[in-house]
Amino acid sequence: MRVKIEKLDNFGRGIAYANGRIIFIENALPDEEVDIVITKENKKYLEGKVTKYLKLSPNRTEALCPYYSICGGCHLQHLSITEENAFKEEKVKSILKKFASTESTLSPIEALSPYFYRNKITLHVHNKKIGYYQNNTNTLVEINYCPLANKKINSLFKPLQQLALNNDLEEIMLRTSNNEKEVLLKLTGSVTNYQDILNLVDVLVINDKAITKKAFIETKIGTKSYKLSSLSFFQVNKELTKYLYDEVLQVVKNSSFQKALDLYCGTGTISLYISDFVQKVIGIDYNKANIEAANINKDLNNAKNATFICAKVEDVINNYQNIDLIIVDPPRAGLNKIALDTIIKIKPQSLIYISCDVSTLARDLNLLKNTYSINLIKPFNMFPRTYHVECVCVLNLRKPLKIKGKSTSQ
């Protein structure tokens, strides 16, 4: 079938129409004319695969990765980075308009290096070969290079291949400090022959047990230092995370908040980042290893006004009152309903919502918008060359309006 691509869907796939039905086509850009075969047929939509490009988009670029067509980890390496950023801005705008009926103006997307930005990767090992799993499968794509991973990580592929040959590995996790000076390697499987790799890493963890004296690497964001173990949550973009945290810090610096809650705080990174500018900050995360790391980082940064609680947000949020700032950074599923309803009851003066999934952000903003007005929505291209986009949303409590003796929100 010969079709013309009309636009991109939210996953970066080309959209074409044939006989009134929508077709999603990977690696196809707006205005391109392509021949396709149908690979999946559903009542509501079709999926197709390009067999021949007849007209190419001027926005098409050569993928940097030799595995791009088979790996599936990236979705937009065939699109220029300028157009990728424009696509992400449009995606955020249209989803927020459709699901939260918000027409708020978006701040321009913040973006830095499109490649070599990740400070962490996880590799699988099958039959002594290392690589990534193809999207939604257990099929290994053997790799010896990943242009999303930082240069330090890329320099370790060869020794890791050797390590895989000499042992019965299942999984390899590599993490570096943001300046790429320190390396943490976590191995899972049957590992006996690891002397050579010990010289190349600062921390070696085998099946959750540190073999090296140190179990943490140390990294910096702005003026704060963070110790990271093999289990800690930590933002993967080595440069842009500082910009995202600075956006939060700017809001804090421009107000005089006394008591802040940092919900879904991970290793307490944001709590500590803002701790010099609030009287008290309480971070909550349900992951024990994260809270252990948060407490270590609290001491490292001498942040006496920070407290970290290991609990489910929805189980403990009701215990807090007189909070003037709440920061939330939930997983892709967005805010739990109890958490959201309790935030509305606590009524902090400001709410900063950091989101890695704009669909659930829109759902939650729709429920918050009667109580809060949107002051800022800023996308961050934290995961260049994929369709993912992070957003920071700053919300302010609406002032109560007195109408005929009744109090309502403005």
Ligand X SMILES: C[S@@+](CC[C@H](N)C(=O)[O-])C[C@H]1O[C@@H](n2cnc3c(N)ncnc32)[C@H](O)[C@@H]1O
Q: How far is the CB of 331 from ligand X (least distance, A)?
A: 5
């930590």: which residue's tokens? 234
The pattern of x and - marking residues 8 through 47 that bind ligand X according to CB under 6 A reads ----------------------------------------
CA 199 to each of CA 185, 195, 205: distance values in angstroms, whole numbers, following the listed order: 12, 7, 14
In 45-135, which ranges are continuous DSSP H helix?
68-71, 81-100
Residue placing its CB nearer to ligand X in the complex, 266 or 384:
266
Work out which of 66, 222, 331, 400 binds ligand X, going by CB under 6 A: 331
355 scored as a contact of ligand X (CB under 6 A) = no
**Stretch binding ligand X (CB under 6 A), from 25-33, 49-57, 138-146, 266-274:** 266-274
Q: Which is nearer to ligand X, 206 or 317 (CB)?
A: 317
In sequence order, the 6+-apart residues with CB closer than 8 A to the CB of 171 are 122, 123, 124, 125, 187, 188, 189
Which is closer to ligand X, CB of 166 or CB of 305?
305
Least Å distance, CB 273 to ligand X, is 9
Task: Print the binding letters for residues 112-151 with ligand X: x by CB under 6 A, - otherwise.
Answer: ----------------------------------------
Among 235, 350, 360, 381, the residue binding ligand X under the rule CB under 6 A is 235
Count, residues in the chain: 410
Q: Which is nearer to ligand X, 164 or 325 (CB)?
A: 325
Q: For residue 83, count other CB atoms closer than 10 A to its CB.
A: 18
Q: Shortest approach of ligand X to residue 345 CB, angstroms?
A: 18
Residue among 201 and 335 whose Cβ is closer to ligand X? 335
Smallest CA-to-CA distance from 311 within 265, 356, 367, 357 is with 265
Helix (H) or strand (E) holding 346: helix 337-346
Note whether 390 binds ligand X by CB under 6 A.
Answer: no
- Any contact of residue 265 with ligand X (CB under 6 A)? yes
Count of residues that bind ligand X according to CB under 6 A: 19
Distance CA 402, CA 410 (A): 9
Q: DSSP letter string over 153-199?
A: HHHTHHHHHHHHHHSEEEEEEEEE-TTS--EEEEEEEE----HHHHT
Stretch that binds ligand X, among 35-43, 44-52, 73-81, 259-267 (CB under 6 A): 259-267
Alpha-carbon span 170 to 189, nearest angstrom: 5
> Which residue is listed with tokens 């971070």?
283
- HSE-CB of 82 using CA atoms within 13 angstroms: 4
Q: Which of 216, 233, 372, 387 binds ligand X (CB under 6 A)?
A: 233
Question: How many Å apart are CA 153 and CA 133, to the nearest integer?
Answer: 18
The residues that touch ligand X, with contacts defined as CB under 6 A, are: 233-235, 264-266, 269-270, 284-287, 290, 312-314, 329, 331, 336
